[in-house]
C-alpha cells in the first residue's frame, strides 16, 4: 500500500487505494475522468489516478449545481472530488476493481483542466497502431497497460539497488561524454565546440570505466547506466537503452555468477516467474549450438538438433556426401507427429534458406520404417534406419535436415526450431527456463576482412589449453582461433538477459589480444593508452556483467517488445514520433561546431 498523500486542496487519498476499510470516511481524490455513465438520473464517473480507479456517484439530491457540473464532465478532464466513501450494495460490487467494494458519493467537484477528445480510448484494451501510440505517447502512458509496465520497471530497479547495496556494492556514475572506442557497434558522435574537429562519443557501455574503477581499488561497483549504440533496431534493441552494469575485484567466474544468481532470483520473483532456485544450470557454448542452434537457447520446447553426419558420410546422396567429405555436417530435427502439407514444407525450406542454408531436407517416417521423402531413393535402408534411430523417430513423425558448414547448419536449424515453436504453439503458457551459457570461443573469424573479431569484447580474458598468461597464449600452436574466453551469459526463455566475463588484468595479455584482432602497438596506445597505462600500475583480477533492464522488464511483464516497457522509446527506424527527433538544426548551430551538412534537406 502506498503512503497516503499529504492532505491538500487537491487530495487526501489515492483513488486506487480506497477499500472497504475506508467506508464511513470522507475522502478527497484527484485524477482523470476515465469514463462517464448516465443511469436513470444518476451519473457515475470512474476516476483514475496512478494508483487505480474509483467510482464516483453524483446524485441530483446532493445539489443541482453539483449534478450539472457532473453532466459536463468528459473523458480525460482533470478533476478533484470530495465525498463520502460508502460500501456498494452487494449486487453492485465490481470484483474487477481493487476499489470495487466501495464508491464515493460526491459532495463537491472542481474541474482542474479540460481535455480535448483523445485520439483513441484510454479505458480498455484496444488494439492500437504503434505509430499512433508513440505519436500520442503522453496519452498512451495513461493507460493501465503502460502504468503497470513502468511500475514494474521501478520495482526491478529498486530491487537491484537494494540487493547490491546489501552485497557491499557502491553505485558510481561514469561519463556520458567519452572517447570513441571500437566496441562492436557504431558510436553516436558529439562534436566538441571548444575543440573544433574533435568529437566525444556517447558510451556503448561503461566497460572501460568500470575496469578503471577496479584498478582504482573500489572492488565492487554497480550503476544503472544509459548506453548508446548506433545500430539497426528490432523488438529487443533501441539506440539508447538502460543496463545494470557491475564489476567485482579479486573474483573468478563462480564469484560473479553466485552474486548475480542471488540478485536475479529476487528480480524474477517480481514477475512471478516459475524458475528453478539457484544455482542455475550451465551449458557450454559448443553444446548450445549443437543442440539448439543458438548461444541463447530456448529450451521450453523440444525439437533438439542432432548431428547425423557419420551415418551419411558414405551416402549415395551427393549433397550429404560432399558436405560431410568437405568438413561440413548434416544435422536434423525430429519435428514430431505432424501432418504438414507440401506448401508449408516449402515455406519452412524458405525459412532455412533465409537463415543461410542451401535448402532443407524433409522426410516422414512411415509404418515400415522407410521414409516418404524426395531423397529417400538416394539413401540405403541402413542409412535411413540409422538416422531414424539417432533422432528417436517413430512412424508419422517429420524429420527436417540441413547439410552445410557447422555454423550455417546450427544457425538455420536454430532459426527453424523457433519458427516451428511459433507456428505450432509449442511453448506452454507460464513455462520458463533459465541457464548460463559458458566457455565461449574468444574470437569469431571475419572472413570478409580476413581477421579475428572478439566474440564479446577485446577486454575479456582469454584462455589457451595450457593457461591464461601471455606466454601460454604465445605457445598455443592453434593460434587465436583455438583460444576460449572466460565469458558467461544468462539466458532466460531464449533471451540473453545479461552477459559478462572475467577481464584481462595483465597488460601483456591485453596486448596479445589487441595483436590478435589486428591492432598494432601504436594503434593500441592511441585508442586505449589510458587503459594500458592503468594496467601497468597494478590491476586486480576482476570481472563483471551487464544486464539489459529493458529486456528484463519486458520478460517479467510478458510483453513482446521493449518499447512497451520504456516511457519514451524510438520506432524501429530510430525516430521519435512524439518530438520529431531526429531533426535538422539551423545553420548557426552547425557553424558554431565547425560543421556543414552535405545531406539533402529531410534526407
In this structure, the answer to whether residues 411 and 519 fall within a common structural domain is no
* 2 found inside a domain: no
Sign of the alpha-carbon torsion through 455, 456, 457, 458: negative
Are residue 190 and residue 274 in the same domain, yes or no?
yes
Domain boundary among 382, 397, 423: 423
Compute the half-sphere exposure of residue 329: CA atoms within 13 Å on the CB side of its CA. 18
Q: Both 415 and 491 in a single domain?
A: no
Mean pLDDT of 70-77: 96
The reply to whether 460 falls in a domain is yes
Q: Please name which of 517, 425, 513 lies closest in space to residue 473, comparing C-alpha atoms.
A: 513
- pLDDT for 478 equals 77
CATH code assigned at 379: 3.30.1360.30
**Pair 417, 441 in one domain:** no
Sequence length of the chain is 603
**Pairing verdict, β 102-113 and 52-58:** parallel
Q: Is the pLDDT of residue 183 over 60?
A: no
SS3 of 220, please? strand
Specify if 162 maps to a domain.
yes
The CA distance from 177 to 507, in Å, is 26
pLDDT of residue 466: 78
**59/386 Cα distance (integer angstroms):** 81
366-404: pLDDT as tens digits = 999 999 999 999 999 999 999 999 999 999 999 999 999
User: Do 23 and 80 lie in a common domain?
Assistant: yes
Reported pTM: 0.92
Residue 351 in grid coordinates? 525459412
Q: Are 381 and 334 in contact (CB under 8 A)?
A: no
Q: Are residues 415 and 439 in the same domain?
A: no
Domain assignment of residue 124, yes or no: no
pLDDT for residue 470 is more than 90: no
First to last CA, the chain: 51
In angstroms, rounded to a whole number, what is the distance separating the alpha carbons of residues 548 and 245?
A: 9
State how far the Cα of 324 lies from the Cα of 85, in Å rounded to an integer. Answer: 78
Say if residue 419 is in the same domain as residue 375: yes
My answer on whether 160 and 207 are in the same domain is yes
Could you tell me if 438 and 351 lie in one domain?
A: no
Which of the four pLDDT bands, split at 50, 70 and 90, describes residue 477?
A: confident
Which residues are paired to 336 by β-bridges? 398
* Owning domain of residue 92: 15-113
CA distances from 403 to 225, 326, 346, 397, 444 (A): 43, 11, 17, 20, 21
Look up the CATH number of the domain holding residue 547.
3.30.930.10
Do 497 and 408 belong to one domain?
no
Alpha helices for 28-84 (secondary structure H): 64-71
Q: Do 412 and 470 belong together in one domain?
A: no
> Residue 343 falls within a domain, yes or no?
yes
Whether residues 266 and 318 share a domain: the answer is no
In a domain, 598, yes or no: no
- State pLDDT tens for residues 288-304: 999 999 999 999 999 99
pLDDT tens profile 318-358: 999 999 999 999 999 999 998 899 999 999 999 999 999 99
Q: pLDDT category, 185, cuts 50, 70, 90?
A: confident
Residue 234 has pLDDT above 80, yes or no: no
Q: 89 in a domain, yes or no?
A: yes
What is the DSSP code string of 262-311?
Answer: HHHHHHHHHTT---PPSSPEEEEHHHHHHHHSSSS---SS---EEE-HHH
Q: How many domains does the chain have?
A: 3
The answer to the question of residue 270 being in a domain is yes
pLDDT, mean over the chain: 94
Amino acid at each position: 500500500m502506498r503512503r497516503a498523500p499529504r492532505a491538500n486542496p487537491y487530495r487526501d487519498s489515492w483513488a486506487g487505494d480506497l477499500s472497504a476499510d475506508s467506508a464511513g470516511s470522507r475522502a478527497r481524490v484527484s485524477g482523470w475522468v476515465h469514463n462517464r455513465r448516465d443511469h436513470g438520473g444518476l451519473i457515475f464517473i470512474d476516476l483514475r489516478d496512478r494508483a487505480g480507479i474509483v467510482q464516483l456517484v453524483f446524485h441530483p439530491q446532493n445539489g443541482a449545481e453539483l449534478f450539472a457540473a457532473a453532466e459536463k464532465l468528459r473523458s480525460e478532464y482533470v478533476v478533484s472530488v470530495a465525498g463520502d466513501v460508502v460500501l456498494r450494495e452487494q449486487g453492485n460490487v465490481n470484483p474487477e476493481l481493487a476499489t470495487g467494494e466501495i464508491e464515493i458519493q460526491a459532495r463537491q467537484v472542481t474541474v482542474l483542466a479540460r481535455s480535448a477528445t483523445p485520439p483513441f480510448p484510454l479505458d480498455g484494451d484496444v488494439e492500437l497502431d504503434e505509430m499512433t501510440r508513440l505519436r500520442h505517447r503522453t496519452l498512451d502512458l495513461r493507460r493501465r497497460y503502460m502504468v503497470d509496465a513502468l511500475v514494474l520497471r521501478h520495482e526491478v530497479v529498486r530491487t537491484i539497488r537494494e540487493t547490491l547495496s546489501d552485497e557491499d556494492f557502491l553505485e558510481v556514475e561514469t561519463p556520458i561524454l567519452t572517447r570513441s572506442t571500437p566496441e562492436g557497434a557504431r558510436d553516436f558522435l558529439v562534436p566538441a565546440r571548444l575543440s573544433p574537429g574533435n568529437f566525444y562519443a556517447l558510451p556503448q557501455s561503461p566497460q572501460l570505466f568500470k575496469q578503471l574503477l577496479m584498478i582504482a581499488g573500489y572492488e565492487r561497483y554497480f550503476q544503472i547506466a544509459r548506453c548508446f549504440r548506433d545500430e539497426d533496431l528490432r523488438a529487443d534493441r533501441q539506440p539508447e537503452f538502460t543496463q545494470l552494469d557491475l564489476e567485482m575485484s579479486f573474483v573468478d567466474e563462480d564469484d560473479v555468477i553466485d552474486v548475480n544468481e542471488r540478485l536475479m532470483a529476487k528480480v524474477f520473483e517480481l514477475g512471478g516467474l516459475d524458475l528453478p532456485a539457484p544455482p542455475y544450470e550451465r551449458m557450454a557454448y559448443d553444446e548450445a549450438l549443437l543442440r539448439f542452434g543458438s548461444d541463447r537457447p530456448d529450451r521450453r520446447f523440444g525439437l533438439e538438433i542432432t548431428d547425423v553426419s557419420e551415418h551419411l558420410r558414405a551416402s549415395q546422396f551427393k549433397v550429404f556426401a560432399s558436405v560431410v567429405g568437405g568438413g561440413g555436417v548434416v544435422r536434423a530435427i525430429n519435428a514430431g507427429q505432424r501432418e504438414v502439407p507440401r506448401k508449408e514444407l516449402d515455406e519452412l525450406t524458405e525459412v532455412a534458406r533465409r537463415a543461410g542454408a542451401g535448402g532443407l531436407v524433409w522426410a516422414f517416417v512411415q509404418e515400415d520404417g522407410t521414409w516418404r521423402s524426395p531423397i529417400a531413393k538416394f539413401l540405403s535402408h541402413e542409412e535411413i534406419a540409422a538416422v531414424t534411430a539417432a533422432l528417436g523417430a517413430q512412424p508419422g513423425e517429420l524429420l527436417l535436415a540441413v547439410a552445410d558448414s557447422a555454423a550455417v547448419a546450427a544457425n538455420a536449424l536454430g532459426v527453424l526450431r523457433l519458427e516451428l515453436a511459433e507456428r505450432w504453439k509449442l511453448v506452454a503458457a507460464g513455462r520458463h527456463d533459465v541457464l548460463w551459457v559458458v566457455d565461449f570461443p574468444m574470437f569469431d573469424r571475419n572472413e570478409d576482412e580476413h581477421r579475428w573479431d572478439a566474440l564479446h569484447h577485446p577486454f575479456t580474458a582469454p584462455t589457451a589449453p595450457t593457461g591464461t598468461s601471455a606466454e601460454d597464449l604465445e605457445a598455443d600452436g592453434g593460434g587465436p582461433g583455438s583460444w576460449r574466453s572466460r565469458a558467461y551469459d544468462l539466458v532466460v526463455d531464449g533471451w540473453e538477459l545479461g552477459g559478462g566475463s572475467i577481464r584481462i588484468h595483465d597488460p601483456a595479455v591485453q596486448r596479445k589480444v589487441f595483436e590478435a584482432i589486428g591492432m598494432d602497438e601504436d594503434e593500441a596506445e592511441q585508442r586505449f593508452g589510458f587503459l594500458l597505462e592503468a594496467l601497468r600500475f597494478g590491476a586486480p583480477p576482476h570481472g563483471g556483467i551487464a544486464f539489459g533492464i529493458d529486456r528484463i522488464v519486458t520478460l517479467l511483464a510478458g510483453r513482446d517488445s521493449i518499447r512497451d516497457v520504456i516511457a519514451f522509446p524510438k520506432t524501429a527506424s530510430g525516430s521519435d514520433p512524439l518530438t520529431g527527433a531526429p531533426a535538422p538544426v539551423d545553420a548557426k548551430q552547425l557553424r558554431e561546431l565547425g560543421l556543414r551538412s552535405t545531406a539533402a534537406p529531410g534526407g
